[in-house]
Chain A
Amino acid sequence: MAKNQNIDYEKIAQLESFKQLAKKKNSFLWTLTVIFLAAYMLLPVLTSYTKILHQPVIGDITGVWLYAGALFIMTWSLAHLYVGRANKFDKEAKAIISEYEGSVRK
């Protein structure tokens, strides 16, 4: 931890590349969070105030189960989507750290 005391966080925060990464990361995270929370909260709204999902769709399987199943698939897919994007963000973060280190050496 002692080494960290020497990091000039202010300097990193001022880098154009850092500002861009933070912006990109946050807009990705919050956009998807709003989407998946909306998809999830729509289920109790639909089941409490409408009968749309109460009808059998495939054989005797009613719409609620299919909607719930879709939420499970959404969770797994978005988890993997996140990892894919996060790995890309990691590379950019690494580049920012080396950019900072390069500027410190000078």
Chain B
Amino acid sequence: MSFTAIFFFVAIVGLTLVITWWASRRTSSASDFYTAGGGLTGWQNGLAIAGDYLSAASFLGIAGSIALFGFDGFFFSIGYLVAYLVVLYIVAEPLRNLGKFTLADMITARFNKAKVRGAAALSTITIVLFYMIAQLVGAGALIQLLLGIDYWIAVLLVGVMMTIYVLFGGMTATSWVQIIKAVLLMLGTVIISFLVLAKFDFSIATMFTEMKTATEHGDAYLNPGLRYTNGIDTISMLTALVLGTAGLPHILMRFFTVKDAQTARSSVIWATWIVGLFYILTIFLGFGAAAFVGFDNIVAANPAGNMAAPLLADALGGDILFSFVCAVAFATILAVVAGLVLSGASALSHDIYGQIIKKGKVSEKEQVVAARIGSIAIAIVSIVLALGAQTLNVAFLVSFAFCIAASANLPVIIYTIYWKRFNTTGAVSAILVGLVSCLVLGAIGPNVWSPIEGKAIFVGEPLLMLSNPALITVPLGFLAGWVGSFLAPAEDPAIYREVEVKAQTGISVQDVSH
């Protein structure tokens, strides 16, 4: 590893630790810990959402996919962006108006039952673990490649860093790590894209013309079909991408860090612009890598294409840009896993321990202690799982987390806010059926079973040919909520009217003068 690389890594680690130290002095209550006291502004939260969302799977994964498969890689960029409209139109404001720290808080604003909260916490923790293992496995492989250290040391390094941020700095440190990461990631991506465009005489038309002959695929590189050949499978995957974001616990949690629905709204606008620009630029990263690094070199460094962006930086900007981009990738992973630890801890410590076991009778001090213990627990479990999951496919784990979020969380969120007849039985059925159907259909799918040895976890014929079962599980989640609601009697309509008034007017978070 070069001196420049060490410099950038130490600078990022140092900067984030200073932020954590600063944040730790402003973190004393449970609200500080989980939501930074609700004091973030629109642009701050918008950047933090982008920092939370643009994971290594986006930066390294999509750039690699576009480099190897052309347009088929870009499908992810489109799905991940349009998903923000679902967040903005359906979820963001009612969530801010009804919730406190977690998704379960929002659902229990209507159904104050331990089993509803327990089910919501269970799906949150499951999603967090899938997503986190994906990030840690990706991080381990990346740092192993970049620094030449062992996989387990790399995973431990990331694991310890994320635990420090969350443990001492809570949501304040996590948010600022995410904001800085978003700025660095955009900076790195813009620089590489500019250099790529310069190679094509600053003409997008020239770039497309050159790309027709730059890869072994010829014309086909500019059209879909190199990777996804099964229509139903493609549609199912795109369903998970567009509907999953609005059910991801670490993204939902970010809406509790602002003071009201107006700020939640403006933070989504900021996030949509930043995330959208980033995803547009993934075209330049992918095309650039295909043209200037080459298919063989990308696959030689990592069969999934994850090294495409760093290798491109090396080809265009030499050691300095390569080191910078690697450090940015490291920061990217740290920011995402810190957000995940926090949302996992909120489900474990606030929902399960504080509200279910202690029935809400916990002092402020106990809540903060519980939050810290919960963070350590989530961190340890995910580090241990990640150490054993080295060979799992990272992209599969991430798209699977999206599938659970879309199938188990989204139906219950929508019904809670918009459907009068919804009840406790419906809520529990929607979450459990969505969650279990994803796990079962995933377990019999082609990512777990393959007749070719080494392509999946087990050797054998998959029973279901969908690599992402969202097309079946999302309707199942909605159906279960509907059927469950009609199996039990209707509940007190006054509670729904209260939820409706709060969600529509924001009256509960505004000052009402009497």
A22 touches B205 (CB 8 A): no
Choice from B75, B79, B508, B513 contacting A101 with Cβ under 8 Å: B513
Nearest B residue (CB) for A89: B504
A60 touches B222 (CB 8 A): yes
A97 touches B78 (CB 8 A): no
Nearest A residue (CB) for B262: A90
Q: How many angstroms from the CA of A22 to the CA of B514 in the assembled complex?
A: 24
Nearest B residue (CB) for A87: B262
- What 0/1 pattern do residues 14 to 26 of A give for CB contact below 8 A with B? 0000100110011
Knowing A58-B205, A93-B505, say if A75 contacts B85 (CB, 8 Å).
yes
Does B494 make an interface contact (CB < 8 A)? yes
Q: How many angstroms from the CA of A99 to the CA of B238 in the assembled complex?
A: 45
Nearest B residue (CB) for A64: B71
Q: How many angstroms from the CA of A18 to the CA of B508 in the assembled complex?
A: 15
Choice from B79, B266, B497 contacting A13 with Cβ under 8 Å: B497
A96 touches B505 (CB 8 A): yes
Scoring B75, B276, B505 by chain A CB atoms within 10 A of each residue's CB, the highest score goes to B505
B89 touches A45 (CB 8 A): no
Q: Which residues of B contact A21 (CB under 8 A)?
A: 504-505
B84 touches A75 (CB 8 A): yes
Taking the nearest CB of chain B, how far is it from the CB of A53, in angstroms? 8
A60 touches B513 (CB 8 A): no
Q: Which residues of B contact A4 (CB under 8 A)?
A: 507-508, 512
Taking the nearest CB of chain B, how far is it from the CB of A105, in angstroms? 8
A44 touches B238 (CB 8 A): yes
Nearest B residue (CB) for A78: B85
Nearest A residue (CB) for B505: A93
For residues 83 through 128 of chain B, which have their beta carbon under 8 Å from a beta carbon of chain A? 84-86, 88-90, 93
Q: How many angstroms from the CA of A26 to the CA of B90 in the assembled complex?
A: 9
Choice from A3, A26, A47, A76 contacting B276 with Cβ under 8 Å: A76
Q: Which residues of B contact A83 (CB under 8 A)?
A: 265-266, 269
A9 touches B498 (CB 8 A): yes
Scoring B75, B211, B279, B504 by chain A CB atoms within 10 A of each residue's CB, the highest score goes to B504
Total chain A interface residues with beta-carbon distance under 8 A: 53
Q: Which residues of A contact B262 (CB under 8 A)?
A: 90
- What 0/1 pattern do residues 217 to 242 of B give for CB contact below 8 A with A? 00000111100101100110011001
For residues 493 through 507 of chain B, which have their beta carbon under 8 Å from a beta carbon of chain A? 494, 497-498, 500-502, 504-507
- What 0/1 pattern do residues 68 to 96 of A give for CB contact below 8 A with B? 10011011101110110010001001001
Taking the nearest CB of chain A, how far is it from the CB of B413, in angstroms? 13
Taking the nearest CB of chain B, how far is it from the CB of A29, in angstroms? 5
Nearest A residue (CB) for B74: A68
Choice from A44, A93, A97 contacting B235 with Cβ under 8 Å: A44
Q: Which residues of B contact A45 (CB under 8 A)?
A: 231, 235
B208 touches A61 (CB 8 A): yes
Choice from B82, B86, B228, B272 contacting A71 with Cβ under 8 Å: B82
Choice from A7, A33, A47, A96 contacting B85 with Cβ under 8 Å: A33
Does B212 make an interface contact (CB < 8 A)? yes
Does B483 make an interface contact (CB < 8 A)? no
Does B137 make an interface contact (CB < 8 A)? no
A33 touches B90 (CB 8 A): yes
- What 0/1 pattern do residues 26 to 69 of A give for CB contact below 8 A with B? 10010011001100110111011100011000111110110010
A60 touches B209 (CB 8 A): yes
Q: Which residues of A contact B89 (CB under 8 A)?
A: 29, 32-33, 78, 82
Q: How many angstroms from the CA of A18 to the CA of B502 in the assembled complex?
A: 11
Taking the nearest CB of chain A, how far is it from the CB of B233, in angstroms? 9
A61 touches B205 (CB 8 A): yes
In the A-B complex, the 5 residue pairs with the smallest Cβ-Cβ separation, listed nearest first, are A48-B231, A13-B497, A9-B498, A59-B205, A93-B505
**Contact sample, A vs B, 7 pairs, CB 8 Å cutoff:** A29-B89, A40-B242, A43-B238, A48-B230, A79-B85, A82-B88, A101-B514
